[in-house]
Amino acid sequence: MHSVGQIFATILAISATLVSAKPRHDDSITFGPTIYASGKQDIIKFVTTTYPGAIPSNQKGNGLFLWPGLTNSTGDLIQSVVGSYPPGASECSGANVNTEWCISSEVYGLDASGNTNQFVGQLTTLDATPSNGLKITYTLTDPSAYTWTQVVTDAVTGKEMATYTKNSGPMTIFEASVECQDCSPTIADQTYVNTTITFAEADKTWSSVPEAESGATFTTPTTSDGGVTWTIAKITFPAES
Ligand SMILES: *[C@@H]1O[C@H](CO)[C@@H](O)[C@H](O)[C@H]1NC(C)=O
Ligand SMILES: *[C@@H]1O[C@H](CO)[C@@H](O)[C@H](O)[C@H]1NC(C)=O
């Protein structure tokens, strides 16, 4: 019999295989059932605004990746990523790739042949000040095919920064992570404001077992419509250095 903590550790270990086996640490927080559970409702929409803060200079290792993710614990991980890459290694292109966050919409998961892949959509460096915030929206655009569309916009100007659409599976779990792959860690608090999660039908107990790791703090999830829509006013990952 696994404890909830062990199951979360397993989920985190699965998502931890993301890109590399380099020494790493992750701060993360997870809401939702620990495994896909029948009777739980599917998420149909996810909206948050993130404030990543200043980017660390002289990034090292394989980089630093800040992301809110949706998963069902066995399939695709939907993740729009605010990334800091070592010099010359950014997924983004352009003059400022070594000094600005790279915003990308990605899916870590399976291709049509069942092979694991990191799918990467549109990419943009964050020219505007990070204090504008980034609005991140994941929408189940075609429920019959479990098509998910990710869109990231500048929260002040509305400029589109990243988007990606892929058929995935039903989603029941929200996890946010500060993923450090032998990196230069965060130098500013990272926050998620007004995170809003909408379900196909009411899921009254969805938020019952949030698990914070490594010091992430959060306000208690609330619902004002009996469990169809859940809101987390603020999640904070304190600066790591
Ligand atoms: C989770 O999603 C994957 C696709 O990403 C899907 O193949 C799988 O069936 C889903 N799991 C459950 C339990 O529905
Ligand atoms: C919070 O997000 C929801 C969903 O996007 C939106 O309808 C609502 O207006 C937002 N509230 C605030 C205070 O921004």
For residue range 212-225, list pLDDT tens digits in order.
767 799 999 999 99
Tally of structural domains, the chain: 1
The pLDDT assigned to 48 comes to: 98
Q: How far is the CA of 85 from the centre of ligand 2 (A)?
A: 31
Residue-wise pLDDT tens digits, 113-150: 888 999 999 888 887 778 999 999 999 999 999 999 99
pTM, 2 dp: 0.89
Task: Examine residue 93 and state whether it is found in any structural domain, yes or no.
Answer: yes
222 lines ligand 2 (CB under 6 A): no
The pLDDT assigned to 236 comes to: 96
Residues in a beta bridge with 50: 134, 192
The pick from 36, 111, 138 for probing ligand 1's pocket by mutation, whose C-beta has the most ligand atoms within 8 angstroms, reads 36
196 lines ligand 2 (CB under 6 A): yes
Whole-number average pLDDT of the chain:
86
Confidence of residue 62 (pLDDT cuts 50, 70, 90): very high
Residue-wise pLDDT tens digits, 4-22: 333 333 333 334 334 433 3
Domain region containing 174: 6-237
47 lines ligand 2 (CB under 6 A): yes
Task: Examine residue 187 and state whether it is found in any structural domain, yes or no.
Answer: yes
**Ligand 1 atom closest to residue 168's alpha carbon, by position in its atom list:** 5
Q: How far is the CA of 103 from the centre of ligand 1 (A)?
A: 26
Task: Examine residue 185 and state whether it is found in any structural domain, yes or no.
Answer: yes
Task: Examine residue 37 and state whether it is found in any structural domain, yes or no.
Answer: yes
CA distance 47 to 151: 10
Nearest Cα to 206, choosing from 229, 237, 236, 180?
229
Q: Could you say which ligand is closest to the alpha carbon of residue 153?
A: 2
The pLDDT assigned to 65 comes to: 96
CA distance 143 to 37: 18
The residue whose C-alpha atom lies closest to atom 12 belonging to ligand 2 is 194
The two beta strands, 134-142 and 116-125, are: unpaired
Task: Examine residue 1 and state whether it is found in any structural domain, yes or no.
Answer: no
**Ligand 1 atom closest to residue 36's alpha carbon, by position in its atom list:** 13
- 236 to each of 2, 18, 149, 192, 196, how far by Cα in Å? 28, 23, 25, 7, 15
The pLDDT assigned to 17 comes to: 38
171 compared with 34, residue with greater pLDDT: 171
SS3 130: helix
Q: Report angle CA 44, 175, 67 to the nearest 5 degrees.
A: 100
Pair of tokens at residue 198: 């909408």
CA distance 159 to 39: 38
CATH number at residue 130: 2.60.120
Q: How far is the CA of 93 from the centre of ligand 1 (A)?
A: 33
Confidence of residue 83 (pLDDT cuts 50, 70, 90): very high
Task: Examine residue 40 and state whether it is found in any structural domain, yes or no.
Answer: yes
Task: Examine residue 160 and state whether it is found in any structural domain, yes or no.
Answer: yes
Task: Examine residue 145 and state whether it is found in any structural domain, yes or no.
Answer: yes
194 lines ligand 2 (CB under 6 A): yes
CA distance 198 to 206: 11
20 lines ligand 2 (CB under 6 A): no
The pLDDT assigned to 36 comes to: 65
Q: How far is the CA of 48 from the centre of ligand 2 (A)?
A: 9
